[in-house]
A = this chain, B = another copy of it.
Amino acid sequence: MKYSPLQTERYTYKPKLPKILREQIHSVVPVLGSPTEAETDREKLKSLFPHTYGMPVVSFEKGENKKVGKKCNVGVVLSGGQAPGGHNVIAGLYDALKASNPESKLIGFLGGPSGILDDSYKELSSEDIEEYRNTGGFDIINSGRTKIETEEQYARCAEVCRNRSIDALVIIGGDDSNTNAAVLAEYFRNIGEDIAVIGVPKTIDGDLKNKYIEVSFGFDTATKTYAELIGNIQRDANSARKYWHFIKLMGRSASHICLECALQTQPTAALISEEVAEKKQTLSDIVDYLADIVTERSRKGYDFGVVLVPEGLIEFIPEMHDLISEINDLLARKQEEFSRIEQDEQKADWVAGELVGHRKEAFLSLPAEIQQQLLADRDPHGNVQVSRIETEKLLIRMVEQRLKKLKAEGTYSGKFSHQSHFFGYEGRCAFPSNFDADYCYSLGYNAFMLASSGLTGYISSIGNLSAPADQWQPGGIPITMMMNIERRHGEDKPVIKKALVELKGKPFSLFSSNRETWAKENCFIFPGAIQYFGPPSVCDQPTRTLTLEHE
| Residue ranges of A at the interface with B (Cβ–Cβ < 8 Å) | 1-10, 81-82, 111, 135-139, 142-143, 225, 228-229, 231-233, 235-236, 238-241, 243, 245, 264, 266, 419, 421, 425-431, 525-535, 537-539, 541
Contacts and interface: CB of A to CB of B under 8 A. Distances in A.
A222 to B, nearest CB: 10
A171 to B, nearest CB: 17
Given A137-B236, A532-B534, A541 B5 contact: yes
Nearest to A140: B239
Contact of A529 (B111, B143, B425, B431): B431
A528 B6 contact: yes
Nearest to A81: B240
Given A225-B529, A527-B4, A529-B431, A9 B137 contact: no
Contact of A425 (B111, B419, B534): B419
Nearest to A422: B421
Contacts of A428: 232, 236
A233 B429 CA distance: 7
B533 A534 contact: yes
B534 A137 contact: no
Contacts of A426: 229, 232-233, 421
Given A241-B142, A529-B529, A531-B529, A236 B429 contact: yes
A528 B530 CA distance: 9
Nearest to A82: B239
Contact of A430 (B3, B6, B529): B529
A425 B529 CA distance: 15
Contacts of A229: 229, 426
A194 B409 CA distance: 53
Nearest to A7: B526
Q: Which of A428, A528, A530, A541 has the most CB of B within 10 A?
A: A528
Copies in the complex: 2
Contact of A232 (B136, B138, B142, B236): B136
A88 to B, nearest CB: 14
Contact of A236 (B3, B9, B233, B425): B425
Given A266-B1, A528-B4, A239 B430 contact: no
Given A236-B428, A533-B533, 12 more contacts: A5-B541, A9-B534, A82-B240, A135-B526, A138-B239, A232-B427, A232-B428, A245-B425, A431-B526, A529-B529, A531-B532, A533-B534
A528 to B, nearest CB: 4
Nearest to A137: B235
Contacts of A7: 525-526, 528
Contacts of A534: 9, 531-534
Nearest to A135: B526
Given A245-B425, A531-B533, A534-B533, A525 B2 contact: yes
A265 B367 CA distance: 38
Nearest to A530: B529
B538 A5 contact: yes
A13 to B, nearest CB: 11
A88 B430 CA distance: 29
5 contacts: A7-B526, A138-B239, A225-B529, A421-B426, A531-B532
Contacts of A5: 527, 535, 537-538, 541
Contact of A525 (B4, B81, B537): B4
A1 B111 CA distance: 43
B82 A236 contact: yes
Given A225-B529, A236-B425, A4 B231 contact: yes
Contacts of A81: 240
B235 A429 contact: yes
A3 B525 contact: yes
Nearest to A138: B239
**Nearest 6 CB-CB pairings of A with B:** A533-B534, A235-B429, A529-B529, A137-B235, A6-B528, A138-B239
